[in-house]
């Protein structure tokens, strides 16, 4: 499967509305972050959870979010971040974050 994103790319986490074992927490859905690492390709947990370990493997990335983009009332300094792993199919390309959104 194609590795669609590179380090530094801005991405948005989709809200695929899937139930079950998806491993994409609700608190990052719809949020915009930055790719900081490509982790390799791994089996999709949505398949593994129902006993399908046959594949295919899919790209996994580490994505960095500014706390203030996740929690509007975050009280810490603006540089604080959450870094989290997201599987490829939950991500779409997004315009770079502008200073107005900070």
Partner 1 sequence: MSHADVHHHDRAHTHHADEALVTEDEAGNLEAQIIINALQNLLVAKNLLAPEEVTQEIERLEAPGAHLGAHIVARAWSDPAYKARLLENGKSAAAELGIKVGEAQLIVVENSAAVHNLVCCTLCSCYPRSILGQPPSWYISKAYRARAVREPRAVLAEFGLLLPDEVELRVHDSTADMRYLVLPERPTGSESMDMSQLAELVTRDCMIGVAKVVPVAAPRN
Chain residues in the site for partner 1 (CB under 8 A):
21, 23-25, 27, 37, 39-40, 42, 45, 48-49, 60, 62, 70-71, 74-77, 79-87
H, E, C per residue of the chain: CCCCCCCCCEEEECCCCCCCCCCCCHHHCCCEEEEEEEEEEEECHHHHCCCCCCCCEEEEEEEEEEHHHHCCCCCCCCCCEEEEEEEHHHEEECCCCCHHHC
Give whichever of 73 and 95 is closer to partner 1, judged by the CB atom.
73
Give least dist CB 37 to partner 1, A. Answer: 8
Give least dist CB 92 to partner 1, A. Answer: 18
Give whichever of 20 and 95 is closer to partner 1, judged by the CB atom.
20
Give whichever of 3 and 95 is closer to partner 1, judged by the CB atom.
3
Give whichever of 9 and 80 is closer to partner 1, judged by the CB atom.
80
Give least dist CB 17 to partner 1, A. Answer: 18
- Between CA 15 and CA 67, with CA 33 as vertex, the angle to 5 degrees is 100
């Amino acid at each position: 499967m194609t590795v669609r994103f590179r380090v530094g790319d801005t991405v948005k986490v989709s809200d695929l509305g899937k139930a079950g074992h998806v491993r994409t927490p609700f608190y990052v859905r719809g949020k915009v972050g930055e790719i900081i690492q490509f982790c390799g390709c791994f089996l999709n947990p949505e398949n593994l959870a129902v006993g399908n370990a046959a594949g295919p493997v899919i790209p996994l990335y580490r994505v960095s979010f500014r706390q203030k983009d996740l929690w509007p009332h975050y009280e810490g300094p603006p540089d604080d971040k959450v870094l989290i792993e997201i599987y490829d199919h939950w991500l779409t390309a997004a315009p770079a974050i502008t200073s107005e959104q900070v």
